[in-house]
Structure 1
């Protein structure tokens, strides 16, 4: 990777252009940048009050960082001259490159840069709030800080909006990628995180250019104790194939990108507010919090509301221990019901020592705590009576070393000045119930399994479908159980062969991606005598039906143009798309990954002996998935494998239908 230090932490800045360039000069002055800022212009004497140099060659020395605000054709010459003189890097502001169909022009830009780092083109640039250095041609809402998070975005407008936050989040860097012609997402992110003053990274991502590099970034960040949180936009189906499968229809809509982020250990959120609140947790508490949470409030209404709101986020509140119950009961008295969420009433309101005792006792038994508190607005009210409770939250976090989240029910109910004053190690003021709960859930994302990397992606190629008999022969060769079967070109030829099978039988026409919808499946037959031909069949298959089924699963393997390959697991059969009860994973996966995914299915209880039903042999299902993964990995001709259904019995699993797509080359 290139060294971006001079570009991100410059001691000297050159600025080319006029109107936008003037903004850069003014922003550096406003932020107190203590190095020289050199405008370069062939005819103007000054820009924003700073004297101009006529050419780059007239500068005292090669600049560490340069903002290039000239047109795209002139940008090429400027970049080449900067690279030749040993400059530290540049941001290329002009548009009109690959995004406008000028891929060749953009390639020339990369060639002109050589080893010199560039951001963009079509890029706003970078803000360093730590050192007051800005290559940024517009307004922003940030202030200087000594330590904080980095914001990295593929959209300039989104990140400008994020800088306007009033949620007491210290921001150390803001950086934009633009077209990322040379410096990519993972490379810039690594450079930002390599600054010891950066505590976490928030990203707005439209596309991931290098999945393996991104996974490496996430692992490095966790190892350094820094969390990453991401908004992934553009969650549309990215597959290059038109394979007509349940897997294709079920695994779209961003399932693959979410699965990839989860595999990398990157927290994913849906909104800018959730991004900010999750970053606050990472900044003050580190890259992950535990799953056991408590909630405390002085109102039964608040206790009930947070419990109701938490359920959709998968956040629950385990009951306190017997020792906690005893101690809390001693402090609060017999009227207060000791529970989690805890309504501690107002008996102790204003009593700092007793409130601290309650808060500390409760928090000590959990991984983290939610303290619901809405300080009165200071412009119309006197918030002083809330200070003992706020101090008690701080004291509990300090005494236990556990994260304490002071959560206001409405975002506007936590004044930014108060929040900034209160925030500290393991103390996080948070704005809004739902946003706080989403952020807390995101901050529970487990880390990347050490060394995990996605498979390489394969080039686009034409594909064709194998018939079911051939597909089953292939998967049976790697140990997947399939029904006993016979095949023939015609139904007349098949009938005597089918007499060797044990009824009930299934009769299938070959050559259909969706046999049921095509009327190409006939079930529960005792013989094939008198069966009419199946219209459009390219051959026939008869097989023994599986008896004593407990559940039907769908298993789908699919090449992905970004993440290498995906695995889709869910309840299957003819209602697979109606149920849409699926989990998507990025390959490779382990038995533990598969087991965890099955347990996340809504209908998992049906596999686990719900209401006295027999338990399904999920171990056999996991073994089947691992065998198919091995096949998919070793045979790169394969584009998609779908088993629907895999019938699970009390013992064993049988693939009763298989669709396989492979390269036609």
Structure 2
């Protein structure tokens, strides 16, 4: 896609305000190469000589903006492909988003052949590095020599992002539209291939081709360029006809979260956080450890930072004795030495002393230091003392050689002019505590997930789904090594009574119910044949399980859900009948290994109970790990036919982990 994205000649095909806007935009950007309007009747478009047909152009254009209606678009694309143009942006709507769009999409693909096509139904792209834009509207980008790339499925959001005034150097903004031919991942890969691009931001509603997304992740890792994702929208595909607790807990959003982490990317929560994260990564790349330092001249600011950082899970580096000695000598006994540091106003306006304090704070184990500074309005207030603060910060950064970000409490107190001036001094402007600290968290997270992305295990198209009853499900999982209670499957109440025999205290379960506990299908603590028979007669089920009752332990959930949009989502969490109420779960994508499972378990709020809370006995974590791996083994052996598996609860004990309930829904294709 190099010719399309870095064009030396651009054809603008169509009339009206949109095509005129493309030409005017190229003029404003300072594009110096050939621009060729194509219009069947006009001699000029936006003051530039026009050609009657695509075939009349001087040569095949590197890029074409196709601004005609959807029916005419196909003919124009066919003509461009025939003359071996570099690629096209298709502006028209009415393709896959309408009832008859499928046939038109097929016609567009046939017409394009091997020629790259972006869209249809999109604005195209802006290349601020080469001053090129196939873009039919206003935008806020200016020329840069190095910057980030932003790719979105929404043209309007792309336009809004070009208007940011936070000092983010943007090299490309691109839209994907309906992705009839060229998907989001393929466009992202082409943007990352530009050596001047430092990071990629994705705003997506759905990921589409997971194989292409994995290829993008591998390329990003190979090039050392981080990818930041703002994922919106929810697919319901994973929850259609789902019957387990897992399905209600691990919908597509949990799958998206797990997928993004698995690919070595990082997710952010807002457009503001996307901007700030890309900005930080542009200057620092991923942060290797979770250790930061912070300085402000106000206790109130220091408290705000501490609270906001705690919400993001950020860790403030402890001060060393050397730091304490030096800072104490500089600030005096009235200043409490801590990180975050409130250095008070005793040294305000003393550039050299401020520089020494900042440098000493930066010389610890922190990999990023933050200086809180809210600048006065340039239109109302002179700010010479703030200029001294900035000079001190720049001096400290130069002395220590570590990254220093100047972060404002609110975005309003960091103007674009101020942000740009900080960048020129080697400082990183972060606008607003919430988005700025989320950016720091994202950079730390990337540092942890940066190793080469692991491959995914993906479901296949599943047909004729069947729900295995508990007995069948346990037998299938037991064959993979899952630890199960001693149990007997029987047909009637009399057989249940005989099976209870000398088992001692037992549990009676009705077969054929997905949620037995809520429907009277489970009776605990039965002793003796008569008690079992009476309980079975009261249930009136087509079959029963008579099981040994497992001692009380920590109840866990193990679930696997086939999410067509993201792969197989593994959910681990607090189990039992109140699983949804506790909502204490973590999600990963299959396959996982033992270390992945241990790490996930440690993320649960229930983790202290597993380790032996308040003198209680610790559970056998390795038995829990083995149970998860047994479930995974079953899913992988089914070659993509499993729709969902759930163990709830898995009772974790000091010496074992026993699956006392199991559910499987799978296709019968294999």
SS of 1:647's partner is strand
8 Å contact from structure 1 (residues 237, 254) kept in 2: no
1:30-179 to 2 correspondences below 5 Å: 30-101=28-99, 102-179=101-178
Alpha-carbon spacing, 1:394–1:538, altered in 2? closer, same or farther (3 Å): farther
**Candidates 624, 627, 632, aligned match of 2:630:** 627
Aligned-partner Cα distance in 1 for 2:252–2:395: 45
> Once the two structures are superposed, what CA deviation does each residue of 1:446-498 show, in whole Å capped at 9, x if it has no partner?
33542512113311423111111111111111111000111111111121122
Cα shift at 1:534: 4.6
Aligned-partner Cα distance in 1 for 2:321–2:549: 54
Aligned-partner Cα distance in 1 for 2:336–2:463: 65
Aligned-partner Cα distance in 2 for 1:429–1:142: 18
Alpha-carbon spacing, 1:417–1:123, altered in 2? closer, same or farther (3 Å): same
Alpha-carbon spacing, 1:462–1:392, altered in 2? closer, same or farther (3 Å): farther
Aligned-partner Cα distance in 1 for 2:185–2:425: 28
> Once the two structures are superposed, what CA deviation does each residue of 1:409-432 show, in whole Å capped at 9, x if it has no partner?
110101211111211697311111
8 Å contact from structure 1 (residues 457, 563) kept in 2: no
8 Å contact from structure 2 (residues 221, 451) kept in 1: no
Instruction: Please report the RMSD computed on the Cα atoms of aligned residues, expressed in angstroms.
Output: 1.5
8 Å contact from structure 1 (residues 39, 53) kept in 2: yes
Structure 2 partner of 1:376: 376
SS of 1:559's partner is strand
Cα shift at 1:646: 0.4
Aligned-partner Cα distance in 2 for 1:330–1:511: 75
Alpha-carbon spacing, 1:425–1:469, altered in 2? closer, same or farther (3 Å): farther
Q: Structure 1 residues 401-410 or 21-30, which shifts more?
A: 401-410
Q: Structure 1 residues 620-629 or 237-246, which shifts more?
A: 237-246
Structure 1 partner of 2:278: 279
1:556 pairs with 2:559: yes
Alpha-carbon spacing, 1:451–1:142, altered in 2? closer, same or farther (3 Å): closer
Q: Structure 1 residues 565-574 or 432-441, which shifts more?
A: 432-441
1:654 pairs with 2:658: yes
Q: Structure 1 residues 160-169 or 226-235, which shifts more?
A: 226-235
Cα shift at 1:538: 2.4
Cα shift at 1:624: 1.1
Aligned-partner Cα distance in 2 for 1:269–1:69: 34
8 Å contact from structure 2 (residues 239, 247) kept in 1: no
Cα shift at 1:253: 5.8
Q: Structure 1 residues 102-111 or 208-217, which shifts more?
A: 208-217
> Once the two structures are superposed, what CA deviation does each residue of 1:305-335 show, in whole Å capped at 9, x if it has no partner?
2112222221232421222212211221121
Q: Structure 1 residues 102-111 or 437-446, which shifts more?
A: 437-446
Structure 2 partner of 1:498: 500
1:228 pairs with 2:231: no
Structure 2 partner of 1:618: 621
Q: Structure 1 residues 132-141 or 360-369, which shifts more?
A: 360-369
Aligned-partner Cα distance in 1 for 2:23–2:459: 44
Aligned-partner Cα distance in 1 for 2:151–2:326: 47
The aligned length equals 660
8 Å contact from structure 1 (residues 550, 607) kept in 2: no
1:567 pairs with 2:564: no
1:409 pairs with 2:409: yes
> Once the two structures are superposed, what CA deviation does each residue of 1:253-275 show, in whole Å capped at 9, x if it has no partner?
61110111111121111111111
Aligned-partner Cα distance in 2 for 1:211–1:442: 23
Cα shift at 1:342: 0.7
TM superposition score normalised by structure 2: 0.96
In structure 2, list runs of 5 or more residues that go unmatched.
none
8 Å contact from structure 1 (residues 467, 659) kept in 2: yes
Structure 2 partner of 1:25: 23
Cα shift at 1:194: 0.5
> Once the two structures are superposed, what CA deviation does each residue of 1:152-198 show, in whole Å capped at 9, x if it has no partner?
01000011010011101111111110000111111100100111111
1:63-462 to 2 correspondences below 5 Å: 63-101=61-99, 102-239=101-238, 241-252=240-251, 254-288=253-287, 290-365=289-364, 366-423=366-423, 427-445=427-445, 446-462=448-464
8 Å contact from structure 2 (residues 255, 567) kept in 1: no
8 Å contact from structure 1 (residues 218, 448) kept in 2: no
1:510-525 to 2 correspondences below 5 Å: 510-525=511-526
**Candidates 9, 13, 26, aligned match of 1:12:** 9
1:639 pairs with 2:636: no
> Once the two structures are superposed, what CA deviation does each residue of 1:574-600 show, in whole Å capped at 9, x if it has no partner?
110110100111111121211111111
Aligned-partner Cα distance in 2 for 1:279–1:99: 31
8 Å contact from structure 1 (residues 482, 655) kept in 2: yes
Cα shift at 1:602: 1.6
8 Å contact from structure 2 (residues 124, 134) kept in 1: yes
8 Å contact from structure 1 (residues 16, 67) kept in 2: yes
Structure 1 partner of 2:510: 509
SS of 1:186's partner is helix
Aligned-partner Cα distance in 1 for 2:620–2:95: 56
Aligned-partner Cα distance in 2 for 1:248–1:610: 29
1:528-539 to 2 correspondences below 5 Å: 528-530=529-531, 531-532=534-535, 533-535=537-539, 537-539=541-543
Structure 1 partner of 2:478: 476
> Once the two structures are superposed, what CA deviation does each residue of 1:43-92 show, in whole Å capped at 9, x if it has no partner?
10000000101111221110000000001111111111111101000000
Aligned-partner Cα distance in 1 for 2:483–2:82: 64
8 Å contact from structure 1 (residues 485, 543) kept in 2: yes
Q: Structure 1 residues 232-241 or 176-185, which shifts more?
A: 232-241
Q: Structure 1 residues 516-525 or 637-646, which shifts more?
A: 637-646
8 Å contact from structure 2 (residues 462, 643) kept in 1: no
Aligned-partner Cα distance in 2 for 1:489–1:311: 56
1:593 pairs with 2:592: no
Aligned-partner Cα distance in 1 for 2:398–2:497: 79
Cα shift at 1:520: 0.3
